[in-house]
Structure 1
Amino acid sequence: MKRLLSTIFLISSLISYAEGFELVTLGSDGGVFDGNISGYLLKSKSEENFVALDAGTVLPGIKKGLEKNSFKNITIPKDTEWNDIGYIFREKIKGYLISHAHLDHISGLVVSSTEDTKKEIYGLKSTIDTLKNNVFNWQLWPNFANEGEGFKLNQYTYKELSPLNEVSINGTTLKVRSFPLSHSNYESTMFLIENNGEYLAYYGDVGPDKVEKSNGLDESFKVLGPLLKEKKLKAIMIESSFENSKQDKDLFGHLTPKWIDTELENLERYSGKGNLKGLNIVITHIKPSLKKNENMREKIEKELVDNNRFGVQYHFPVQGDLLEF
């Protein structure tokens, strides 16, 4: 009987541990077409509440996700007064993790704020200060937050994150730690999201450490390496804004496939040789081209896949897509 109970306990523990994440792509591009830029929804598979990872696009992405059945695990009450887009937006997104306050990462949050509900906005001090002083200030936009200039509508509550300190995301089972990054000498963020012992790393815009003369990526890899070695890291989301032909002087704080390869080599130093094999890497922030007969997404995908010497699993989601890890 004791052996049976121990077996049941072990199985139940494994089931509760292996929850995993669901990721819905609200906006996959790094510009220049509005309506599909820099935004994702993340949740644990064991719950229905999301946190947004940046918010360049929000409502158009929810609409596309519904069309693709990417919210198949969300129960929408029949008696709600809201349509499906409104219900998910108002009721199921519990907060926003903003990596930095550049327009292509916040425009969806700002424009849709007039129909939003009370939520938290999480970010490093530099991000919160920009939102407070330059966005929700009654000049660019009404002050929907709890701090800043003029009358405060108190719809959003700023939650300033301290680097490395873990914070619970209200309304979800998720927790987050923040890591400063350099984005053309402007501060961006890597968010390390944890749920019941499993992790997902989301990088905002970031340039190569060597080009940026920074150690932001290196410092984050020191934390990710052991998690990867222990098989606790489910996925990394990181940008490749440009193709390999882009010169370093023109990167302006972004990555290319060759620089991703270089940075993965550094990550392997901290995780151990061979431990990157099978790692899910979601490529974000691909900048579309306006040139004839040039598909930047296809070009970047080919450059990454053809030089995949670490055996990682690359993903290239487009708007509305659901990924499960």
Structure 2
Amino acid sequence: MKIRVLGCSGGIGGHHLRTTSFLVDHDILIDAGTGVGDLSIAELRQIDHVFITHSHLDHVTSLAFIVDAVGDMRDRPLIVHATEATIRILREHIFNWLIWPDFSQTPHNKPFLAYSPIHVAETVTVDSRMITALPAHHTVPAVGYQLDSGSASLVFSGDTGPCPEFWEAVNKIQNLRYLLIECAFPDQEKELAVQSLHLCPSLLMKELAQWQHEAEVFVTHLKPGQIEMTMQELATYSGAYHLRILQGHQVFDL
């Protein structure tokens, strides 16, 4: 299993900042932020599954454009895996004929998109690759994901504030190699982090204290303009944790 970072920023600004999306091998996306826009038409056609963490625009904005760009070139619908609550939001607020066509209903003889509900702790297997929804705590219904090749796992928290249930699930993963964890704000905006159910360096340290295993840790979803400040604060807190910033175009092998 090869995981390519298409985008991992908490916003846009500059040629290198793309919002969250990861390409798993050639046919699976985890989230569909603006990073998807860098894929070619040929690459977009190969995507069969999209696993959505939550409905916020920076994680779903390219979903509408994928089906619009290549839906008529494919012989089967793009399958969107998400919680029932997230699917309801996508139906009501994006694919609603007002913001974008409902491609789960059109074309009538061959819809471009299909929804597949997923529940926390449920595992979806795609050609021996196992993707499990993990608990998260955000302002809208949200999950993280464990990607398991069988020999190693990567965990992506998605957007989350403090969430003991997330760590309870992560602590059960025996083959964890990489942990991608959000840290959206610096500590000077801790109040905003708390209100919006995100993490900042001091909150992240409290979360990591619940972790019982070891893996390589990368922080993601940093806000443009605050990246250097946030990483400086993390460096003062990190102690035993060697925290690195997730980079666009980074590749993980499992």
Greater share of residues in helix: 1
Pick closer, same or farther for the CA change 1:306–1:247 going to 2, 3 Å: closer
Query: What is the percent sequence identity of the aligned residues?
Result: 22
Does residue 240 of structure 2 align to residue 240 of structure 1?
no
2:101 to 120, 131, 142: 142
**Structure 2 gap ranges (5+):** none
1:119 paired to 2:78: yes
2:135 pairs, out of 180, 193, 203, with 180
Change (3 A) 1:179 1:152: farther
1:168-247 matches, within 5 Å, as 168-169=125-126, 172-184=127-139, 186-208=140-162, 217-227=163-173, 230=174, 232-247=175-190
Tell me, yes or no, if the aligned pair for 1:144 and 1:152 is still in contact at 8 Å: no
2:234 corresponds in structure 1 to 304
**3-state SS of 2:229 partner:** helix
Contact preservation (8 Å) 1:237, 1:284 = yes
Deviation at 1:202, TM superposition (A): 1.3
Q: Does the aligned pair in 1 maintain the 2:6–2:23 contact within 8 Å?
A: yes
Distance in 1 of aligned mates of 2:49 and 2:230 = 31
Contact kept in structure 2, 1:51 and 1:95, CA below 8 Å: yes
Cα distance, 1:23 vs structure 2: 2.4
TM-score (norm 2): 0.86
Worse-superposed segment, 298-307 or 136-145: 298-307
**Contact kept? 1:146, 1:158, Cα under 8 Å:** no
* Counterpart selection for 2:52 from 98, 105, 119: 98
Contact 2:134 2:169 in 1 (8 A): no
Distance 2:148 2:238 in 1: 27
Q: Residue 167 of structure 1: which of 124, 131, 134 is its match?
A: 124
Count residues with an aligned counterpart: 246
TM-score, normalization by structure 1? 0.69
Q: Structure 1 residues 202 and 310 mapped into 2: Cα distance closer, same or farther (>3 Å)?
A: same
The one-letter amino acid paired with 2:250 is D
Structure 1 Cα separation of the partners of residues 247 and 119 of structure 2: 32
Contact conserved, 1:145 with 1:152, CA < 8 A, in 2? no
The letter of the residue matching 1:37 is T
Which digits, 9 at most, give the CA deviation of each residue in 1:245-288, with x for residues without a partner? 11335541111111111100012xxx2xxx43xx2122211111
Q: Which residue of 2 aligns with 1:255?
A: 199
CA distance in 2, matches of 1:177, 1:152: 32
- Residue 112 of structure 2 corresponds to which residue in structure 1? 155
Q: Which residue of 2 aligns with 1:316?
A: 245
More displaced, 96-105 or 138-147? 138-147
Letter in 2 for 1:266: Q
